[in-house]
Amino acid sequence: MKHALGIDAGGTHSRAVLVNETGKILGRGEAGSGNYHNVGLDQAVANLKAASEKALADAGQNTCRPSAAFLGCAGIKSSLDKSRLRAAAERAGLAPAGEIVVENDLHNALAGGLGGRPGIALISGTGANCLGRDESGATFMCGGWAWILDDRGSAMGLALAAFHAAVRAADGRARPTRLLPAALAFLGLSEPEEMLARLHVSPWTADEIAAFAPVVGRCANAGDAAAKKVLRDGATALAEIVKGTFQALSFPKGAEVVLLGGCARSGPPYQPLIEAAIRKQIPQARIVEPEGSPLDGAAINARRLLGKEDKENSTTDKH
């Protein structure tokens, strides 16, 4: 019986599963980051290899070479990203040459969230991204441009939009808002003028700034008009990338949409706004609860590679 590796490689850790032709998970393994933009190509592939070897050992298949491998990796977007990682994974011997598929890790989130069914996954955590897969197996990704180019509606996007509203209020260009004192307290500052140096000179990470998003929600719950607008605009922006995905693919009977990520699944007040915005822009959308994890999705994507038809479909990308 043939075996395939499914890997879900994030910025913090990489997890691998070994599956057989029936889709049964035989073994699991875990290692470090698989985002080569963060840790470098050699280290990322070494981590993927380590996770894979642990999965093989867990399955008692130390001497068995997988027939194929599906790598769903964070930070993968361009064709150059995919070809670089694929070539390195082939050199490392994860699977035979020509039998390794590399995609963004959102492919695993979509497959896991919908149990392998066609549909759309919207993820909004620190950043925002959307992926769809239709009945033909064609896929399309919309979003995923990171905060400097886009990411509206993500936790980072909400935080930055709230900071923008705060400084406009500080200048008197907009009405007073709770977002201004909240932003100062969050950043540990005493006056608005200190925000410039704090954000332009002092080091910070996207995760650190994105942590302000829940504060925006609390300000909105308290009735702050500016905070409410930030959330409404963010929800509209997320619905736009779902709509872009829906229109790029073929869903004649409508599409299931699953929301993933800490921001999209934050509950009131933001999540209901996202769901309402999606239904408004795509009346054919059916929002459903996630069924499984990204690692479950990695197993599904690995199983697809063991069937010729599924393998061909899995590599059809419209974007």
pLDDT confidence of residue 12: 86
Domain count, the chain: 2
Q: Is 28 helix (H, G, I), strand (E, B) or coil?
A: strand
Q: Is the pLDDT of residue 308 over 60?
A: no
Dihedral sign for Cα 105, 110, 115, 116, please: negative
Q: Which structure tokens are listed for 153?
A: 């509606």
Judging by DSSP bridges, how do beta strands 68-73 and 3-9 pair with one another?
Answer: parallel
Q: How many CB atoms lie within 10 A of CB 250?
A: 14
pLDDT tens track for 79-113: 999 999 999 999 999 999 999 999 999 999 999 99
Instruction: Answer for the pair 117, 103: CB distance below 8 angstroms, yes or no.
Output: no
Contacts of 56-65 with C-beta under 8 Å, sequence gap 24+, read 56/18, 56/27, 56/29, 57/27, 57/29, 58/18, 58/26, 58/27, 58/28, 58/29, 59/3, 59/18, 59/26, 59/27, 60/27, 61/3, 61/18, 61/26, 61/27, 64/3, 65/93, 65/95, 65/96
How far does Cα 237 stand from its chain's mean position?
A: 16
pLDDT tens track for 123-132: 999 999 999 9
Q: Is the pLDDT of residue 312 over 90?
A: no
Report yes or no on 300 lying in a domain.
yes
Instruction: Answer for the pair 6, 59: CB distance below 8 angstroms, yes or no.
Output: no
pLDDT tens track for 169-189: 999 999 999 999 999 999 999
pLDDT confidence of residue 150: 92
State how far the Cα of 9 lies from the Cα of 82, in Å rounded to an integer.
Answer: 13
CATH number of the domain bearing residue 104: 3.30.420.40
Instruction: Answer for the pair 18, 57: CB distance below 8 angstroms, yes or no.
Output: no
Q: What is the largest CA-CA distance in the chain?
A: 70
Q: Which structure tokens are listed for 61?
A: 């298949």
The model carries a pTM of: 0.90
User: Do 70 and 14 share a structural domain?
Assistant: yes
User: Do 259 and 129 share a structural domain?
Assistant: yes
pLDDT confidence of residue 11: 82
Give residue 280's domain range. Answer: 118-289
Q: State what percent of residues in the chain have pLDDT above 90.
A: 87
pLDDT confidence of residue 140: 97
User: Which residues make Cβ contacts (< 8 Å) with residue 50, sequence separation at least 6?
Assistant: 29, 31, 32
pLDDT tens track for 126-173: 999 999 999 999 999 999 998 999 999 999 999 999 999 999 999 999
Instruction: Answer for the pair 158, 269: CB distance below 8 angstroms, yes or no.
Output: no
User: Do 271 and 173 share a structural domain?
Assistant: yes
User: Do 283 and 146 share a structural domain?
Assistant: yes
**Which residues in the chain belong to E strands, given as ranges?**
3-9, 14-20, 25-31, 68-73, 100-104, 119-124, 128-133, 139-143, 255-260, 285-288
User: Do 36 and 136 share a structural domain?
Assistant: no
State how far the Cα of 154 lies from the Cα of 196, in Å rounded to an integer.
Answer: 22
Q: Is the pLDDT of residue 317 over 70?
A: no
pLDDT confidence of residue 77: 87
What is the band of 314 on the pLDDT scale with cuts at 50, 70, 90? very low
User: Do 219 and 157 share a structural domain?
Assistant: yes
pLDDT confidence of residue 37: 87
Q: Is the pLDDT of residue 271 over 90?
A: yes
User: Do 126 and 106 share a structural domain?
Assistant: no
What is the band of 260 on the pLDDT scale with cuts at 50, 70, 90? very high
State how far the Cα of 300 lies from the Cα of 279, in Å rounded to an integer.
Answer: 28
